Amino acid sequence: MSEKDKMLAGELYDANYDEELINERLKNKDRCYEYNNIKPSNIEERTRVLDEILGKHKNSFYIEPPFYCDYGYNIEVGENFYSNHNLVILDGNKVIFGDNVFIAPNCSFYTAGHPLEYEQRNKGLEYAKPIRVGNNVWIGGNVVVLPGVTIGDNVVIGAGSIVTKDIPSNVVAVGNPCRIIKEI
């Protein structure tokens, strides 16, 4: 099994010395650099480069630069998606956003994690667990979503939250760690 196969399967893998993963990251980081340096008024060019970065998207979506991600091909964006400035997605595994998702500035989605045991961690091993965000979700500024989290439909995540566990549909959740404070 290749390191990429292990990564996508959520198993421990080594991204630091695997030539395939290194080359894919570098290629995508060049695309992100290109995207982040296109004039704001050149919407057609920005759309073209985002189309090359993202694995899958629907028609109506927009990401304000700067935007950073590792591979790009693991990111799926639904209809009517909007992200404000400084979106970071560490997409060693799938990151899937539903329709009508709005993300405030300075938000991060991390599929990558590291072993608790220092021996494995010191060898450069890591894992990646998928993140899923449902439909009709609003994520406030400075939110961090950790590996393996699913956020349901019709959810509001309050600013500054760190989402460490799944959030069910139809709630407002906030805090560190993020927890439900109100049903919608």
Q: pLDDT tens digits, residue range 20-54?
A: 999 999 999 999 999 999 999 999 999 999 999 99
- Which domain, by its residues, includes 176? 3-183
Which DSSP string corresponds to 101-133?
EEE-SS-EEE-EE--SSHHHHHTTEEEE--EEE
- What rounded mean pLDDT belongs to the chain? 97
Q: Sorting pLDDT into bands at 50, 70 and 90, what band is 114?
A: very high
Instruction: Please report where in the chains the tokens 């890591």 appear, as a residue.
Output: 126
* Closest of 70, 53, 54 to residue 15, by C-alpha: 70
Q: Are 147 and 114 in contact (CB under 8 A)?
A: no
Go through the chain and tell me how many residues it has: 184
Q: How far apart (Å, rounded) are the C-alpha atoms in residues 67 and 116?
A: 29
Digit-coded pLDDT (tens) for 67-107: 999 999 999 999 999 999 999 999 999 999 999 999 999 99
When divided into structural domains, the chain yields a total of 1
Q: Which of 114, 129, 132, 179 is catalytic?
A: 114
Q: What is the pTM of this model?
A: 0.96
114 is catalytic: yes
Q: Are 128 and 143 in contact (CB under 8 A)?
A: no
Look at residue 93 in the predicted model and tell me its pLDDT: 98
Given the DSSP bridges, would you call strands 137-139 and 156-157 parallel, antiparallel or unpaired? parallel
User: Residue 74: which CATH number?
Assistant: 2.160.10.10
